[in-house]
Amino acid sequence: MMNTKIEPFILNRANSWLTGNFDEETKEMVKNLMDTNPTELIDSFYRDLEFGTGGLRGIMGVGTNRMNKYTVGMATQGLANYLKQMFPELNPIKMAISYDSRNNSKLFAKIVAEVLSANGFKVYLFDDLRPTPELSFAIRHLGCQSGVMLTASHNPKEYNGYKAYWDDGAQMIAPHDENVIREVQKITSVDDVKWVGASTNIFSIGADIDRIYLDRVASLSLSPDSIYRQQNLKIVYTPLHGCGRKLVPEILFRYGFRNIHMVEEQAIADGNFPTVHSPNPEEHDALNMGIDLADKIKADLVMATDPDSDRVGIAIRNHHGRMILLNGNQTAALLFHYILTRWKELGKITGNEFIVSTIVTTKLISEIARKFEVNYFECLTGFKFIADVIRKNETAMQYILGGEESYGYLIGDFVRDKDAISACAMIAETAAWMADQGKSLFDLLLEIYQTYGFYKESLLSVTKKGKRGAEEIQEMMVGYRENPPLTINNSRVVKIKDYQMLMVSDRITNTETPIDLPKSNVLQFLLEDGSIISVRPSGTEPKIKFYFGVKENLERKDAFELTEKRLDEKITCIIASMKLK
């Protein structure tokens, strides 16, 4: 401990946990950190967990910067205090709570329910683990003022989190998220929390909400006849030890699919995620067992959802019969093209419809919108901003779907967050629709590239852990702002979009134009050759993310692999020119 300097405010915070009204096990853990692990002590106490793009999220353990029963309880008391201010006329204020399969998620959900009930709230607590999108649906269906989902989404097993929702079923955005933080910061002691719950205020929900939610998802189907003819399409699904294990197979069956194969080893709810390094459908390794099963039974589609079942990754067969993984942009392209095609064929497009994606999602989506003559909105990264666009436009226009590159999609507006349950159903339906034409999802992807251009994207995440890591990420952003590159990969930077300054700088015309979005710490460099590089610190993880987008025309289907190779090489050269590897 003598070799590591610990700032006095951190020691004061740690000592308050030794002398305060904390249980003995917690005190022993804090004392052990003070005696043996000063670096971990600093990381555990140097700040309070904050609401980012995904809410409250952190490593489980003792300390103010960790997910534990005390930080969860204090956050809940702060949330309760804010809700009382916002809804003074309501008695009781209503809340819905759900949780996923992560370690301690059920415990944290119980603590949230008890604190809220002790504050006089009427609490609807799911009787078992349920997906994030169903929690979002339940908030609106039950007329709640807020909701909480206990999950850390796709993060590694040491993480847990707390997604806070508003009365529209969407995750909180400004000013509510910032105001809740201020209220939480006012909770300076665990003694400020009403810990003793009132069981008469807690109501169990489950199968009743499942049925109503799945009815709404079933109503999204656009090609039931194709599914009927292709009902034996072989589908492999894995919930990656999460809470999609019940509702995804059920909705696929309700859609009409009869040949569904679950990866049984990963159908067991387990917060240790024993069969994967990380339960993240963005990572190739997470789908390996599903692909192995698909090869064994000759299936053409593999789908994997993350622990809280709001995101889905897929694998499909290419023209060589080999399973390939699609990135989130490619899956989005399939869904947007299919759904808008069917809406047009069914005469549902009137010119008053809209779709949404984010500033780091493939520009292919805007091209698809232009072709089908539907309104297109672009928003900041995070599905809460897509939900905000829906909320602002729902009385004037009809929302069709939204999506983002990080494997999240939302079809229909009865949920206000990413929904892998409905996305799985519609991905399978897209496959059936193509099979009905004697084609595959890979065929559809090639047709999209031939029609709109071959857009290729890649993501590079640079991890910087701990207090120093957070400082390094901010230093990188300052550097890019103060000394922006003139060229990247020998191509001139012709525009810079700064979403923190809300300004577009055009280097060709030497003009500046405003950006009409909320502030966000994101930079985009637009190159003369059409490439786009976006730089964004993560709001939920100790990472800075670099998004790369390049494009070429795809003249012929048989030129796919050669064109893809050139695009991949171009991205590699961009990364090298920015000295990121």
Backbone angles phi, psi at 376, to 5 degrees: -125, 130
DSSP code, position 284: G
Asked if 47-205 and 455-577 have one fold, the answer is no
CA 380 to CA 325: how far, in whole Å?
26
Cβ atoms of residues 248 and 309 within 8 Å: yes
- Identify the CA nearest to 236 among candidates 308, 315, 164: 315
Is the sign of the CA dihedral 217, 223, 229, 232 positive or negative?
Answer: negative
CA 330 to CA 356: how far, in whole Å?
16
Query: Tokens 């519609």 appear where?
Result: 426
Q: How many CB atoms lie within 10 A of CB 200?
A: 8
What ranges do the domains of the chain cover?
47-205, 218-452, 455-577
CATH number of 218-452: 3.40.50.2300, 3.40.120.10, 3.40.720.10, 3.40.50.300?
3.40.120.10
First to last CA, the chain: 34
CA 45 to CA 268: how far, in whole Å?
34
pLDDT at residue 1, rounded to an integer: 41
Q: Active site includes 153?
A: yes
CA 110 to CA 73: how far, in whole Å?
10
- Identify the CA nearest to 101 among candidates 49, 157, 177, 168: 157
pLDDT tens digit sequence for 479-517: 999 999 999 999 999 999 999 999 999 999 999 999 999
Cβ atoms of residues 540 and 57 within 8 Å: yes
In order of 86, 153, 498, the CA distances from 405 in angstroms are 34, 15, 20
Q: Which two tokens stand for residue 129?
A: 């683990």
> Quick one: what percent of the chain has pLDDT higher than 90?
91
Question: For 455-577, CATH number?
Answer: 3.30.310
pLDDT tens digit sequence for 62-98: 999 999 999 999 999 999 999 999 999 999 999 999 9
Q: Which two tokens stand for residue 567?
A: 């695009």
Catalytic residue among 105, 136, 153, 357: 153
pLDDT at residue 47, rounded to an integer: 87
pLDDT at residue 56, rounded to an integer: 83
- The H-assigned helical ranges of 352-465 are 364-372, 383-393, 420-435, 441-452
CA 82 to CA 68: how far, in whole Å?
21
Which residues does residue 358 pair with via DSSP β-bridges, in sequence order? 379
Cβ atoms of residues 31 and 18 within 8 Å: yes
Query: Tokens 């205090």 appear where?
Result: 81
Domain spanning 47-205: which superfamily?
A: Alpha-D-Glucose-1,6-Bisphosphate, subunit A, domain 3 (3.40.120.10)
- The H-assigned helical ranges of 223-379 are 224-229, 244-255, 288-297, 328-345, 364-372
**3-class secondary-structure state, position 265:** helix
- List, for the chain, all residue ranges whose pLDDT scores fall below the cut of 50: 1-2
DSSP code, position 192: G
